[in-house]
Amino acid sequence: MEILMAIVIGILFTCATYLMLSKSILRIIIGTGLLSHGAHLLILTMGGLKRGAVPLLGENAASYVDPLPQALILTAIVISFGVTSYFLVLAYRTYQELGTDNMDLLRGNEKNE
Amino acid sequence: MNNIVFFPILLPLLTAVILMFFRNIRTQKIVSVLSFIVGIGISIYLLSTVHTDGLQTLNASNWDAPFGITLVADMLSSILVLTTNIIAFCVLLYSFNTIGVAREKFYYYAVFQLQIVGVNGAFLTGDIFNLFVFFEVMLMSSYVLLVLGGTKIQLRETIKYILVNVISSALFVITVAYLYSVVGTLNMAHISERITEINQPGIITVIAVLFLIVFGLKAAVVPLFFWLPRSYYAAPAPVLALFGALLTKVGVYSIFRTYTLMFYHDANYTHVLLGSLGLASIIIGVIGAVAYWDVKKIVIYNIIIAVGVILYAISLNTDTATNGAILYLIHDMIIKAALFLLVGIMVKIAGTSDLRQMSGLIKDYPVLAWTFFVAAISLAGIPPLSGFAGKLLIVQGTIETEAYFGTFVVLGSSLLVLYSIMKIFINGFWGIPKDTVKKPSKSIYTMLVPAIVLVAISLIIGVGLEKILPYISQATETLMNPDLYIDAVLKE
């Protein structure tokens, strides 16, 4: 199971890297989204995968999974959600102001304006 | 257990929330100033408590360490929190006349406070995942501060800044996940204990290097500094001062903490790598500082040099060098803030940041010129200013460990730093005044006051070193003996 997850995470990271290397801002943002998905899945996998158990059912539960990675993922998801939405709004505003979403044209010149 | 540890984080957070309810800008200013005065008071109290009673910890919601989130104030954190509050206060005063109504209306002061929440939080936390959260708080507010105002250059550079930081945040989460799977804990003291138990196998060294990449991206270490010069260039002067003085230093602090507390068993590999990156940063930074003719760019490249010097000192891993690193870190935060404020004034009165089109400012602005001169020689490390003591200790450290190449690079960089900053002084202040220079006005002098205060603090640190050194060596003692930290956190 862990091996399978590792492959899935690897595919996510590959796609994220590919998308982030493209020129369009929108693709780059989707790339960052995939990157954070990969990172979240990685936390889950690193806590160890178990079937048929819940995080906590009292002290006498027969089996339970590590609840900590789930708490971490929750935090990380909220943060990446916030950053992504901010990033999207910023990209739209930049497009309105500068009239392009091509990173090649957003380089700036000697005068920096 | 001491609740005081939490106040440097809580106070700016509450202030930020309160500020959002006031539409009146004058009220916002008064509340911000009051908040920072109280904040400085609290940080001084925290510092003296740590000085007399040793490390202070706070287990959030009474969850015992290592299960809950622990906040830890050791000497290094307390000193940095105090420095942060003082710098932020000065930058805030400077903002009053420079930032402009357009930015003030869009909650500049509230976001400013949130930025301080993130920085103080990063200094005070004792939990590696919590460190990530405070990094995000800090970054989110820095995204807003950087783009606030919405000029073309700001929008363009913020996109790149966010992209770099999103990638480094993802890498941070990934690294924490790896670390968690190996040691099964997130409390820094507990991590350190467990790494000692398993004697740092290869996988921990890999994680240490990953952390170096994550924090190095924040600290702008060569080769991860490429984003810094351009995005900082886009920021308005007060924001630039805040970023230049605080944000990169949080990265440096994190490297300091992780490399002295957790990953110190395989120093032959990790610390040598850190040292080489430090030296490379000094060299590349010097090349940038000497090459540019833009005042902002010159000072921005000086950030990279300073980061290199501090990281190199950390990598030496001796008492003397660590003393030097801490002292230099504090010095650099203060003097960089002062320099960015002064450069901001220069750009404002000359109407350009290009040195070739600037000259003769000293005729109308003698106070500005001489303040800049003192700040410049402090940056280069001329006694009796604060830069000298730190560099002296670092150089002493390199000689003790017989790292003569390091001695050469650190001393040589000082000379070139002096050159780069004197280039600003000679070209900007000397010569025949240009017609485009604005005449002195009251607002220029109110802008000067915070910068003078910061330069005066640098002078006080330099002259009153005898009084400050016990605090620094107490910080070093905790850093060099991780057991002190571990005992204070886990065995209370």
Question: Does the distance separating the beta carbons of B155 and A79 come in below 8 Å?
Answer: no
Per-residue tokens: B19: 């500020």
Choose among B133, B140, B178: nearest Cβ to A75.
B133
- Angle (CA) B299-B220-B119 rounded to 5° is 90
Beta-bridged to residue A24, according to DSSP, are A102
DSSP A104: G
Type of residue found at B377? I
pLDDT of residue A53: 74
pLDDT of residue A13: 96
* pLDDT surpassing 50 at residue A113: no
Tell me the shortest Cα–Cα distance from A106 to chain B, in angstroms. 6
Range of the domain at B71: 3-490
Question: Does the distance separating the beta carbons of A75 and B166 come in below 8 Å?
Answer: no
- Angle (CA) B314-B317-B323 rounded to 5° is 65
Quote the CA–CA distance of B278 and B291 in Å, as a whole number. 20
Q: Which residue has the higher pLDDT, B235 or A62?
A: B235
Quote the CA–CA distance of B44 and A7 in Å, as a whole number. 52
What are the chain A neighbours of B231 within 8 Å (beta carbons)?
Answer: none
Choose among B129, B140, B156: nearest Cβ to A106.
B156
Question: Does the distance separating the beta carbons of B159 and A91 come in below 8 Å?
Answer: yes
Instruction: Judge residue A24's burial from the number of C-beta atoms within 10 Å of its C-beta, 0-12 exposed, 13-18 middle, 19 or more buried.
Output: middle
Q: Does A69 sit behind a cis peptide bond, omega within 30 degrees of 0 on the bond before it?
A: no
pTM: 0.95
Tell me if B390 sits within 8 A of B327, measured CB to CB: yes
Q: Number of folded domains in chain B?
A: 1
What's the rounded mean pLDDT across residues A90-95?
94
Quote the CA–CA distance of B387 and B310 in Å, as a whole number. 12
Tell me the shortest Cα–Cα distance from A97 to chain B, in angstroms. 7
Question: Does the distance separating the beta carbons of B136 and A86 come in below 8 Å?
Answer: no
What are the chain A neighbours of B176 within 8 Å (beta carbons)?
Answer: 43, 72
Choose among B143, B156, B176: nearest Cβ to A98.
B156
Beta-bridged to residue B56, according to DSSP, are B73
Tell me if B373 sits within 8 A of B339, measured CB to CB: no
Quote the CA–CA distance of B354 and B358 in Å, as a whole number. 7
pLDDT of residue A109: 66
> pLDDT tens per residue, chain B (492 residues)?
789 999 999 999 999 999 999 889 999 999 999 999 999 999 999 999 999 998 999 998 888 888 889 999 999 999 999 999 999 999 999 999 888 888 999 999 999 999 999 999 999 999 999 999 999 999 999 999 999 988 889 999 999 999 999 999 999 999 999 999 999 999 999 999 999 999 888 999 999 999 999 999 999 998 899 999 989 999 999 999 999 999 999 999 999 999 999 999 988 999 999 999 999 999 999 999 999 999 999 999 999 999 999 999 999 999 999 999 999 999 999 999 999 999 999 998 888 888 888 888 888 889 999 999 999 999 998 888 888 999 999 999 999 999 999 999 999 999 999 999 999 999 989 888 887 777 777 778 888 999 999 999 999 999 999 999 999 999 999 999 999 999 999 986
pLDDT of residue A110: 56
Q: What is the pLDDT of residues A30-49, one digit of tens each?
A: 999 999 999 999 999 988 88
Handedness of CA B305, B114, B7, B82 (dihedral sign): positive
**What DSSP letter does each residue of B295-329 carry, written as one string?**
HHHHHHHHHHHHHHHHHHHHHH-SHHHHHHHHHHH
Task: Find where tokens 């002292």 sit.
Answer: B327
- Angle (CA) B457-B461-B463 rounded to 5° is 115
Beta-carbon contacts of residue B151 (< 8 Å; ≥ 6 apart):
B234
**Chain B residues within 8 A (CB-CB) of chain A?**
129, 132-133, 136, 140, 143, 147, 150, 152-153, 155-160, 162-163, 166-167, 169-170, 173-174, 176-178, 180-181, 186, 230, 233-234
DSSP B4: G
Q: Which residue of A has its CA nearest to B294?
A: A111
Q: Give the helix/strand (H/E) hosting B243.
A: none
DSSP A102: B
pLDDT of residue A62: 74
Quote the CA–CA distance of A58 and A90 in Å, as a whole number. 45
Tell me the shortest Cα–Cα distance from A35 to chain B, in angstroms. 7
Chain centroid to Cα B209, Å, comes to 21
Beta-carbon contacts of residue B121 (< 8 Å; ≥ 6 apart):
B9, B130, B133, B134, B137, B138
Tell me if B408 sits within 8 A of B326, measured CB to CB: no
CATH number of A2-49+66-100: 1.10.287
Q: How many CB pairs under 8 A join A and B?
A: 98
Tell me if A87 sits within 8 A of B166, measured CB to CB: yes
DSSP A22: S
**What DSSP letter does each residue of B47-91 carry, written as one string?**
HHHHHHH--EEEEGGGPPTTTS-EEEE-HHHHHHHHHHHHHHHHH
Q: Give the helix/strand (H/E) hosting A25.
A: helix A25-46
Tell me the shortest Cα–Cα distance from A109 to chain B, in angstroms. 11
